[in-house]
Homo-oligomer: A and B are copies of this chain.
């Protein structure tokens, strides 16, 4: 029996997801250290926020990161210096990027090429320009890096948080199934908004009132327009489409319906926008009435039609008995239509946002990377 291997963990980001992840990491590290048969021991050696960092030159474990961040923080290192620090660690390193930062994402290929594995919910790495996506998987040991020296990269939480969306798509493809269509509700905000705007049981408020309600309940970004423009959903569809083999150039290279009335795009602030939105309720009311007259409801969905090489995001009407219509609360739903599964798709459903379930996807990815490190 070989002694347990020390694996070094570096975490960027200590916001909502970052804190939830650090909590899960501490539980995981403690379970592993208590299991005599576990071949790994985990050591947190780096934690940085947007402007400060805690780490030790001798790679000593950050046993109490909260206290150290409070009392012992230094200015953060630039990414190349962070890489230099990490590659010299006396063992394998996994970088956990819990930010949505484009600069960190841009550095993934060099981290991977230098043997550092990455787990992350950061959508920008996989939905930005296609070259970055290709560079990441060309550098990764679980992509096409044939030297075997690269790090592994996993990003389950970049779509549907902890729901097993990306792993399921990969299983379908790797076993030779043909994925024909992926369709679903990919935004907790949009889910909550439309489940309230037009419940299958009838009723529901005016659109602007439901947006304000969703914002007040904390379901939207600080500026609700960041949800209503559809870009968050477009990013997730870009990721799934690319994994399914479509060379999607960017999240703005296919039709994305924005729910921001053209006249309000130039509003100075989110509050100004919310104040003026009621003037445009008639449009959304008309859509709702039209759907209702057909026994349907309106939902904000995304879809990838693989054979047609077509991706789109926007409003669609669904029969009240359709699983997409019957969604509850702020749940996501993702349906995979494939040759093997036939008429009834493989469906994954549940909370697709929130710090704990997003961090869960990251932690599960970390466990997968640990198994691959040897």
Contact = CB atoms under 8 A, between A and B. Distances in A.
A149 B80 CA distance: 39
A148 interface: yes
Given A36-B146, A145-B37, A340-B360, A348 B348 contact: yes
Contacts of A10: none
A242 interface: no
Interface in A341-373: 341-351, 356-357, 360, 363-364, 367, 371-372
B171 A1 contact: no
Nearest to A21: B175
A224 to B, nearest CB: 23
B344 A328 contact: yes
Interface residues of A, number: 55
A163 interface: yes
A347 B348 contact: yes
Interface stretch (A24-32, A122-130, A210-218): A24-32
Nearest to A321: B326
A346 B342 contact: no
How many copies of the polypeptide does the oligomer hold?
2
A344 B323 contact: no
A174 B344 CA distance: 30
Contacts of A148: 1-2, 39
A200 B27 CA distance: 44
Given A329-B344, A347-B347, 19 more contacts: A142-B371, A162-B171, A163-B346, A164-B171, A164-B348, A175-B360, A176-B363, A323-B323, A328-B344, A340-B351, A340-B360, A341-B351, A341-B357, A346-B348, A347-B348, A348-B348, A348-B349, A371-B371, A374-B374
Interface of A: 1-2, 24, 27-28, 31, 35-37, 39, 142, 144-148, 162-164, 167-168, 171-172, 174-177, 200, 321, 323, 326, 328-329, 331, 340-351, 356-357, 360, 363-364, 367, 371-372, 374
Q: Identify the 4 closest CB pairs spanning chains A and B, nearest first.
A: A346-B350, A37-B146, A347-B349, A171-B364
15 contacts: A1-B148, A28-B175, A162-B346, A167-B167, A171-B360, A171-B367, A174-B367, A175-B360, A326-B326, A340-B351, A342-B351, A346-B348, A346-B349, A346-B350, A347-B347
